[in-house]
Chains A and B, each alone.
Chain A
């Protein structure tokens, strides 16, 4: 158990809909990262938050957005869903290190299926 929790574990929805994925980081970790894993793909970085502020963006679509709340939990919002958005979505958290060499700890993921 990494200490990172994600809900829900599974989500089935229809095209055009909007969903919200939730992540609670490990106690004390200020950074939260979101990754997407599609079929036959490695994990693709989507977005990073640090202590409530957006820090870095990766391959995140404009239809997707995220935020980190004062209690440090984070939500990933996916809207106007398409079939191709079906994937595993992982959240990770890491402690702060001045040298940037932070180990990220992953949650169990949310499996999204868009029908």
Chain B
């Protein structure tokens, strides 16, 4: 039973264009969402997050959009660069009794083609 789903295992985008990575979740209790980027042989690197009280958060080339009614979030990367090629994980958490483990999707492999 996957609570966080990334339905596209891979995505290819040309350099300079927009990359859009999607994520769906089923648990309406989730109130904090994060995106991580992972290169081979490295740990996940935090990119950007969004609280459930917001519908958009921007940080440089990265923007995360949250649609609570659809239980959907997306990560936009503009413009895409070859160095963005990595696996991107969506994660979600909710706060209960002081515990906040993350629930991860299976990831989307982004390839940015020069």
A binding-site residues for B, Cβ under 8 Å: 2, 4, 6, 31, 33, 35, 40-45, 48, 50, 55-56, 58, 90, 92, 94, 99-109
Contact of B101 among A4, A56, A90 (CB under 8 A): A56
A-contact bits for B79-114, CB 8 A (1 contact / 0 none) = 000000000010101111011111111110000000
Is the beta-carbon distance between A2 and B45 smaller than 8 angstroms? yes
Q: How far is the CB of A83 from chain B (nearest CB, A)?
A: 22
Tell me whether B51 and A101 are in contact (CB under 8 A).
yes
Does B16 reach chain A (CB closer than 8 Å)?
A: no
On chain B, the residues within 8 Å of A94 by CB distance are: 100
Q: How many A-B residue pairs have CB under 8 A?
A: 77
CB of B98 within 8 A of CB of A45, answer no
Chain A residues, Cβ within 8 Å of B96: 100
- What is the CA–CA distance of A105 and B36 in the complex, to the nearest angstrom? 10
Question: How many residues on chain B are close to A (CB under 8 Å)?
Answer: 29
Whether A103 touches B95, Cβ cut-off 8 Å, given contacts A41-B106, A56-B101, is: no
Q: How far is the CA of A6 from the CA of B44 in the complex (A)?
A: 13
Determine if B1 is an interface residue (Cβ-Cβ < 8 Å): no
Which A residues lie within 8 Å of B34 (CB)? 103-104
**Closest residue of B by beta carbon distance from A47:** B101
A100 touches B95 (CB 8 A): yes
Asked if A108 and B31 make an inter-chain contact with CB atoms under 8 angstroms apart, the answer reads no
Shortest CB-to-CB span from A58 to chain B, Å, is 6
| CB-defined contacts of A100 to chain B, threshold 8 Å | 31-32, 93-96, 98, 100
User: Is B46's CB under 8 angstroms from A33's CB?
Assistant: no
Q: Besides the contacts A100-B32, A102-B100, what 6 more A-B pairs have beta carbons closer than 8 Å?
A: A2-B45, A35-B104, A45-B102, A101-B32, A106-B44, A109-B43
Q: A43-B89, A100-B93, A103-B49 are in contact. Are A55 and B99 (CB under 8 A)?
A: yes
In chain B, what residue has the closest Cβ to A53? Answer: B98
- Whether the Cβ atoms of B99 and A101 lie closer than 8 Å is no
Chain B contacts for A106, CB-based, 8 A:
36, 43-46
Name 11 A/B residue pairs within 8 A (Cβ), A-sorted.
Answer: A6-B43, A48-B99, A48-B101, A55-B98, A100-B95, A100-B100, A102-B93, A103-B46, A107-B43, A108-B41, A109-B42
